[in-house]
Structure 1
């Protein structure tokens, strides 16, 4: 029940008592009785102020408790949503790993979670011929093993990044630099997934690094092979973060 009516009521009583004291003083009442009455009035006034403080503190604590409860609920809800999103990406990762193993692509495609995002790294050697950005039919057939798991995150922000090694392109190449080649390869992979309705083109962005940001040494053939890659990054959906 709301106790807000106590404040004006107690204030009115205090004013009435003050009025009675003035009247008594004007009537020149017995000094001993007046002092006794004054003492009792002081005790009553002290009790009134203490009561007001208790009511005020009670309301303040109630408001603070409500605010803390709301903040705690929001934090808990955010934590549950974030955990749910992370669990979804982990499930997709496991499904992709199983499909890649069944397709014999575990040596050419790696899948892992990094900074709460899903990373799919595809060795360019299985995607393209040297200096080319055209996906062969056999490669497209292999990549279909990624379709079903990735459709579950089609609304998430997607980044497709292209990388090359540091070897110069052939003189007859249609690309002027490794940067252009890495861009063309990323776009080719993007078109493949968009055309097959795996990803929504509104959610995709392209990144091209050329020979920059190698993950292995360019001093060996094996290292350069690891550096030639296309990476698909599935980020957490912003609406769920």
Structure 2
């Protein structure tokens, strides 16, 4: 063989790029997982499915199951199923209430009504029932001091003599109860002595709080004050009489029961009034 031929370099080998195989194998793996999941989802426990179907049907009053009934509470009547959501939610809440929670709610209503009765009796004996209103709801018991001219000077935060006499009667009733109290100040539009209704309603709420603590003996750790200005009016301000309803201070005796019990207070109140 000639030297020239022996010195020739071997041709370079060309390798095909095989990186596409990694992506292909990933895709195949994902497809396999998807089919496994689809297979698992298609395998239904017939026994469990039948129990679920009967439970849902019985719970909504559509079918009266004779064999399996896992629904708890009172079955919602079929005629109430298509009512508006708010009404249905109220019925559902009452239907699913446990007897223990409803019993606690009834006891709480009795306690709040007892506090209300004591305060009403004291106010009636002193001739101060006018302009003092009471309301029981899921928050607790609210004592409404309605009408600024009865409890405050016009556009002023100082308590009138009538206001102090009312607080002298209700404070001794609330003191031994030991419940949390929130004093909420409200005001009507059209004030002139203050920059806004926020300052006026705040000053009135704080003055009521200070009297109940300093002279009524309410523990400072159980009472607070908040101002709503004219943001939560019960009437418009079209007439002086309607404006008086918005000039008020609410003394809210907050229930210390769990939320599930407090939510049942309105229903328990209806039962107690029957």
TM-score by length of 2: 0.54
Superposed CA deviations along residues 2-32 of structure 1, whole A, max 9, x for unmatched, are xxxxxxxxxxxxxxxxxxxxxxxxxxxxxxx
Could you tell me how far 1:184 is from its partner in structure 2? Answer: 0.5
Change (3 A) 1:198 1:84: farther
Please point out which of 213, 216, 219 is paired with 2:238. Answer: 219
DSSP-derived class of the 1:105 partner: coil
Match of 1:234 in 2: 253
Could you tell me how far 1:76 is from its partner in structure 2? Answer: 6.2
Could you tell me how far 1:176 is from its partner in structure 2? Answer: 1.8
Q: Which runs of 4+ in 1 moved over 6 A?
A: none
Separation in 1 of the partners of 2:245 and 2:162? Answer: 21
Change (3 A) 1:198 1:79: farther
Match of 2:138 in 1: 115
Could you tell me how far 1:94 is from its partner in structure 2? Answer: 1.4
Separation in 2 of the partners of 1:128 and 1:141? Answer: 13
Separation in 1 of the partners of 2:185 and 2:232? Answer: 11
Change (3 A) 1:119 1:224: same
Match of 1:36 in 2: none
Could you tell me how far 1:138 is from its partner in structure 2? Answer: 4.7
Separation in 2 of the partners of 1:80 and 1:201? Answer: 31
Could you tell me how far 1:104 is from its partner in structure 2? Answer: 2.2
Could you tell me how far 1:78 is from its partner in structure 2? Answer: 5.3
DSSP-derived class of the 1:87 partner: helix
TM-score by length of 1: 0.60
1:189 aligns with 2:213: no
Separation in 2 of the partners of 1:125 and 1:147? Answer: 21
Instruction: Name structure 2 gaps, 5 residues minimum.
Output: 1-97, 262-274
Please point out which of 163, 168, 186 is paired with 1:139. Answer: 163
1:161 aligns with 2:180: no
> Which has the higher Rg, Structure 1 or Structure 2?
1
Separation in 2 of the partners of 1:206 and 1:138? Answer: 21
Could you tell me how far 1:144 is from its partner in structure 2? Answer: 1.3
Instruction: Name structure 1 gaps, 5 residues minimum.
Output: 1-74
Change (3 A) 1:202 1:196: same
DSSP-derived class of the 1:210 partner: coil
Contact 1:96–1:111, Cα closer than 8 Å, also in 2? no
Separation in 2 of the partners of 1:142 and 1:85? Answer: 24
Superposed CA deviations along residues 150-209 of structure 1, whole A, max 9, x for unmatched, are 2232x212111111111132xxx3x32111100010000000001124422112222211
